[in-house]
Amino acid sequence: MALLEILAYPDPRLKQVSEPIAAVDNALRALIADIEETMRAGPGGVGIAAPQVGHFVRVVIVDVPPRKKSSSHGRQVLVNPEITEWDGMVIGREGCMSVPDYTGNVIRAERITLHALDEQGLVREFEMHGFEARAVQHEIDHLDGFLFLDRLVSRRNDLFRRKIYQAPPG
């Protein structure tokens, strides 16, 4: 296993769209182990995406411990993850290992349904909410070349105003 270098914004490679994994094999599992080790070495990281360490493939790892008000699935490796349903909107504060010393508010879906392959190549489906759903959305964004910076909202209350006074889009 090895610690990998974490790309930091404004590295243009973070804007790249990552490629799907064709086959879940030992080489991929070795890469996943390195990515996970890198995540665990970071400060408080609950998730990481392969492109953050310079591998532009659709693999993310999340590990959100269950909390008082919010259940979670613990450590999950998600290969070729795809969110199929979004529900609700919630604002929350995010930072990123690829964006040191900056945190900001981002709107995410409160609940998501997703499917992905696991480390063995088996299809898994999840329903997630709250902090875990936020983590997965943050990581899948990395696969599509987005950072939380792309989704920042004002630290002030325009979200709440918008939510109350404006009809939802569409």
Pick one of 50, 96, 106, 114: the residue that binds Zn ion (CB under 5 A): 96
Q: Is 139 a catalytic residue?
A: yes
152-153, strands of its sheet edge to edge:
123-129, 99-117, 152-153
| Binding window for another protein (CB under 8 A); candidates: 7-15, 17-25, 78-86, 87-95 | 87-95
Q: Which two three-digit tokens encode residue 81?
A: 């993850």
The active-site residue out of 85, 110, 132, 139 is: 139
Count of positions (residues) in the chain: 170
> Does 164 sit near another protein (CB under 8 A)?
no
> Does 117 sit near Zn ion (CB under 5 A)?
no
> Does 59 sit near another protein (CB under 8 A)?
no
> Does 14 sit near another protein (CB under 8 A)?
no
Cα–Cα distance, 79 to 77 (Å, whole number) = 6
Q: Are 145 and 50 in contact (CB under 8 A)?
A: no
Q: Report the residue number, 24 or 96, with the smaller CB distance to Zn ion.
A: 96
Give the position of tokens 């909410």.
129
Cα–Cα distance, 5 to 83 (Å, whole number) = 28
Q: In b/e form, how buried is each residue of 95-133, taking b as 16+ CB within 10 angstroms? A: bbbbbeeeebbbbbbbebbbebbebeeeebebebbbbbb
Q: Which two three-digit tokens encode residue 122?
A: 């088996």
> Does 59 sit near Zn ion (CB under 5 A)?
no
Interaction residues for another protein, span 123-152 (CB under 8 A):
131, 134-135, 138-139
Size of interface with another protein, in residues (CB under 8 A): 26
> Does 143 sit near Zn ion (CB under 5 A)?
no
Name the residues that contact another protein, by CB under 8 A: 42-49, 62, 92-97, 101-103, 131, 134-135, 138-139, 155-157
- Rule CB under 5 A: which residues touch Zn ion? 96
